[in-house]
Chain A
């Protein structure tokens, strides 16, 4: 068995991006590309951050990285144009 590498003195920089926290929440955020005005509010507020700005055909808009979105609803509350929708994950859609 390979020996464990023990870093003496310090631990190396970001490795927790391996921790995909996207499986934490019951909902995930989805940004409507058409409604988005690229104001940057969700980028500023997202605690992870799971949001980022992309550009496509001269249109700037924000997207949510579902590898990390914890479904906290903060972006939903701060979006000025209601471009964000919180959708329940399929595994939590329970038929009662």
Chain B
């Protein structure tokens, strides 16, 4: 039984389908998928052309967490909780920005839902507009490179930290470069009762300006430079991080993507590169990434 795909409309080389399929497979297809508006929804759920082999619902952009909460509540009321896991698949725009209110409510009430945010670091479906998950220095259409700014000057929101602050039993970050690790995290999350938050870094070939050839390498470098630490929290305690034997400098990661290439030429680029390196260094210290 194909739980997700093939035949969906994701760009060749897109990062998230690997994650979506992996998540459903590791849960043996006993999944009720709740999807927020975004790339995933658009490529997979056209009327008459839907790729989902599991029950699926898409409501509006910002309420996937609340809809999932409602489904979980209904299953509890109807005594059908054992039927399957309620899993949310939402992009970073729907999670970090517009949907943070409903997500906070869901996590606060500790509904038994696995919330998986595929983080492609911008509103990619509408053409790469910045979201609060976009890292500083990125060239997006709403934070473009110009005389006044070298791309985005704000920071990336620490959503995993926000989840932990809500007191959820499980919160983790993952990357599609390590799909088995991501699957393990989904399986581990399913063992907890309550709201689980997993953020999976998914490169976007169009938005980030890379080729399908580079998808896995770029995702791996994001982890290996310390810019995207892979962490795991259980009941508020940091239980596992992916240690880096040899932490690479951030330039190796940034150089490969068109959205960061201007940093090597722009007059404010050097400052931004230093800032990004600082972020990586701080992550390494905070989570103990350096082996």
Direct A–B contact in complex, judged by CB atoms less than 8 Å apart: yes
Interface positions of A (Cβ within 8 A of B): 7, 11-21, 24-25, 44-50, 65, 67-68, 70-74, 76-78
Interface: B242 (CB within 8 A) = no
Identify the closest chain A residue to B3 (Cβ). A14
Identify the closest chain A residue to B214 (Cβ). A77
How far, in Å, is A16 (CB) from chain B's closest CB? 4
Determine the distance from Cα of A69 to Cα of B51 in the docked complex, in whole angstroms. Answer: 16
Identify the closest chain B residue to A78 (Cβ). B216
How far, in Å, is A6 (CB) from chain B's closest CB? 9
Determine the distance from Cα of A12 to Cα of B212 in the docked complex, in whole angstroms. Answer: 31
Interface: B288 (CB within 8 A) = no
Interface: B130 (CB within 8 A) = no
How far, in Å, is B269 (CB) from chain A's closest CB? 28
Determine the distance from Cα of A68 to Cα of B14 in the docked complex, in whole angstroms. Answer: 14
* Tier of interface size on chain B: 35 or more
Contact A16 B17 (CB under 8 A): no
Contact A73 B6 (CB under 8 A): no
How far, in Å, is B224 (CB) from chain A's closest CB? 15
Which of A7, A18, A71, A76 has a CB less than 8 Å from the CB of B7?
A: A18
How far, in Å, is A10 (CB) from chain B's closest CB? 8
Contact B217 A77 (CB under 8 A): yes
List the B side residues contacting A15 at CB < 8 Å: 48-50
Contact B6 A49 (CB under 8 A): yes
How far, in Å, is A52 (CB) from chain B's closest CB? 10
Contact A47 B52 (CB under 8 A): no
Determine the distance from Cα of A77 to Cα of B210 in the docked complex, in whole angstroms. Answer: 14
Contact B13 A45 (CB under 8 A): no
List the B side residues contacting A74 at CB < 8 Å: 13, 18, 212-213, 215-216
List the A side residues contacting B22 at CB < 8 Å: 44
Q: A14-B7, A21-B9 are in contact. List 4 more A-B contacts (CB 8 A).
A: A11-B45, A44-B22, A47-B18, A73-B13
